[in-house]
């Protein structure tokens, strides 16, 4: 079940990174990045390196900020000039690519799924 949640979170993050679809899509992006940031703390049967956990949480928080800026722009809460709008959207596209790239790197490094924790009951210690 947790693998299914992880796959849904990663797909939602990837979709939110490259397909801003308006206010609903931005809200879905905020929720998916929040799940992405909290995922390392929900799965206690898997172990990740400290840098992997930190990176997953950081990408989740950065992604929430990313989707929040898109939400502010799409909903009209902040109206900016055409040049500023172009600059903001350019930086958001760059940030979306960085989020995508770091997610792929985490997957290739094996830190996104993590490794199974050893069960202490099945571990055989040498006799002393």
Tally of structural domains, the chain = 1
Residue 95 lies in a domain: yes
* pLDDT score of 5: 62
Residue 91 lies in a domain: yes
The helix (run of H) or strand (run of E) holding residue 47 is strand 46-47
With a CB cutoff of 8 Å and minimum separation 6, the contacts of 91 are none
* pLDDT score of 3: 64
- pTM for the whole thing? 0.73
* Sign, Cα dihedral of 95, 96, 99, 101: negative
CB of 74 within 8 A of CB of 3?
no
Residue 19 lies in a domain: yes
Residue 120 lies in a domain: no
Range of the structural domain that residue 89 is part of: 2-115
The helix (run of H) or strand (run of E) holding residue 115 is strand 115-116
Residue 122 lies in a domain: no
Neighbours of 84 (CB within 10 A): 11
Mean pLDDT in residue range 73-86: 88
Residue 22 lies in a domain: yes
Percentage of residues in the chain with pLDDT exceeding 90? 17
Per-residue pLDDT of 84-124, as tens digits, reads 999 998 999 899 889 888 888 888 888 877 777 776 555 55
- Both tokens of 2, joined, read 């947790």
């Amino acid at each position: 079940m947790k693998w299914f949640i992880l796959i849904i979170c990663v797909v939602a993050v990837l979709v939110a990174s490259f397909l801003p679809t308006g206010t609903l899509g931005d809200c879905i992006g905020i929720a998916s990045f929040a799940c992405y940031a909290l995922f390392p703390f929900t799965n206690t049967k898997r172990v990740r390196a400290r840098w992997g956990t930190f990176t997953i949480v950081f990408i989740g928080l950065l992604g929430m900020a990313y989707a929040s800026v898109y939400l502010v722009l799409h909903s009209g809460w902040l109206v900016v000039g055409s040049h500023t709008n172009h600059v903001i959207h350019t930086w958001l596209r760059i940030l979306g690519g960085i989020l995508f790239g770091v997610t792929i790197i985490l997957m290739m490094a094996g830190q996104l799924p993590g490794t199974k924790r050893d069960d202490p009951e099945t571990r055989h210690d040498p006799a002393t």
